[in-house]
Structure 1
Amino acid sequence: MAIVFITGSTDGLGRAAAQSLLDQGHRVVLHARSVDRAAALGELTSRGAGMVVGDLRSAAETKSIADQVNAIGRMDAIIHNAGVYTQRSRGSTPEGHASTLAINTLAPYMLTALIERPRRLIYLSSGLHRGGEGSLDDLDWNSRAWDSAKAYAESKLHVVALAFALARRWPNVLSNAVDPGWVRTKMGGASAPVDLDTGQRTQTWLAVSEDSAALVSGRYWHHLRQEEPADEATDPGFQEELIAKLGKLTGVELPRV
């Protein structure tokens, strides 16, 4: 059985993925933004293999999350699930970054660099990532007028590009991105067409399955099928420029090999 760390496990797709993996007999390390949010997990906490707490808006707390995971031990897989959608304003994290960028892009980048390397990495993206072109000119929204939908799209393009870059850099790690669809969660709303079970299925399958179809890397998935992502995401030049800029923004270097 595998041990899997899932960011944003207290609600929505993260919680559904945790429940699915636990029901299959796997071990799950849970993540909550705060102690109060951790309390909301209820019986999942006792079933889990550990609980880590930290707010992904904060670089210091994100580093603490990495330390907490490493103290538990090496993960077999990590599902980078946590994210935010429409933020009314750019906001400002403790380090001065745009909140959407910090949570959706900087945090998974930092955790990837700082947590002991697992066998599998899964990054939750969105079909909306195809609207994120051109983001590297003002990555942190310092000059542009705030556009929450564009910021979200860009952040989801970033994680697809990161997944693909890691597939090139780290050949011993299976690194993939997943579009779960428009799912009925607090973020997606009650009118969303995709149920929670369908929404979580692809990422949990990629995290633990020994099916040959799941043992691939550098792919973009939607409901258990491979799809073509935005061209920028597959461009090694874009990937490397993104990683260089994320390293500069965070002060954390992503190992090349």
Structure 2
Amino acid sequence: MARIFITGSADGLGLLAAKALAAEGHNVVLHARNPARGTEAKRKVPTAEPVLTADLSDIEATKQLAAEVNDLGSFDAVIHNAGVYQVSSQLIFAVNTLAPYILTSLIQRPERLIYLSSGMHLQGRPNFENFNVNSGRISYSDSKLHVLMLSMAVARKWPGVYSNTIDPGWVPTKMGGRGAPDNLQKGYETQVWLATGNDSNARVSGHYFHHKKQRAYNTAADDITLQEKLLQLCETITGVAFPQ
């Protein structure tokens, strides 16, 4: 059985993926923004290992979270599920762009990394001129392009790791809203499959998936110069170097 850490697993797709993985007998470590949400998450997935808590909008708290994950030992997979949508640009940048970079860089390298992007990344731009913690100009679409660029950089630099990105679709979660038209089950099944699946379609790297199928994506994510600029700027802001 695999051991998986899932960020943002107190509700939404992260919680649903955690439930599905736990039901299959895998060992799951949950993450919540605060202790109250962590307690509720543990109640919903009682077989999960102790819940880790950290506010991913806080750079130092995110670094501490990585240390706590490492204290628990090695993981087979890490699912970077946490994300925010209708909030300030500063929060979007901190949670959606910087936090996955920090955690990827500091957590002991797993066999598989899964990142949640969005179809909205297609309208995103690198927008590097606005990379600072006080920027009010990083959009949700930009941040989800950053996530895809990070995943592609990992796939290129770490050949021993399966690094892939998911568009879960517009699904009826708290973020997506009740009227969202896409299939909720398919929204989290791809996470589970990429984290634990042993068929050849799941054991790949550097791809963008929607409902277990590879999909076209913003080709800016393939630009190595842009990938390197993303890593450099994230290092400058966070003080965390990307391991080579």
TM-score by length of 2: 0.96
Q: Deviations over 1:102-155 (max 9, x none)?
A: 000100100001110000000000010011124112123856xx46xx610010
Q: Corresponding residue for 1:14? A: 14
Q: Corresponding residue for 2:46? A: 46
8 Å contact 2:22–2:45 — kept in the other structure? no
Aligned with residue 251 of structure 1, among 202, 216, 239: 239
| In structure 1, distance between residues paired with 2:204 and 2:110 | 15
Q: Corresponding residue for 1:177? A: 165
* Letter aligned with residue 225 of structure 1: K
Q: RMSD of aligned C-alpha atoms?
A: 1.4
Q: Secondary structure at the match of 1:18?
A: helix
Q: Corresponding residue for 1:37? A: 37
Q: Structure 1 vs Structure 2: percent identity of aligned residues?
A: 49
1:60, CA displacement in angstroms?
Answer: 1.3
1:116 correspondence with 2:88: no
Distance 1:167-1:42 versus aligned 2 partners, 3 A rule: closer
| In structure 1, distance between residues paired with 2:2 and 2:170 | 28
Q: How many residues align?
A: 244
* Letter aligned with residue 234 of structure 1: D
Aligned with residue 131 of structure 2, among 135, 139, 148: 139
Q: Deviations over 1:41-87 (max 9, x none)?
A: 24345311231111001111111111111111101000000000021
8 Å contact 2:42–2:48 — kept in the other structure? no
Runs of 4+ with deviation above 2 angstroms = 42-46, 139-143
- Structure 2, unmatched stretches of 5+, are none
Q: How does 1:1-257 map to 2 (within 5 A)?
A: 1-87=1-87, 89-90=88-89, 98-140=90-132, 146=136, 151-256=139-244
Q: Deviations over 1:226-249 (max 9, x none)?
A: 012101111111101111000101
Q: Secondary structure at the match of 1:47?
A: coil
1:40, CA displacement in angstroms?
Answer: 1.4
8 Å contact 1:12–1:196 — kept in the other structure? no
TM-score by length of 1: 0.91
8 Å contact 2:126–2:145 — kept in the other structure? no
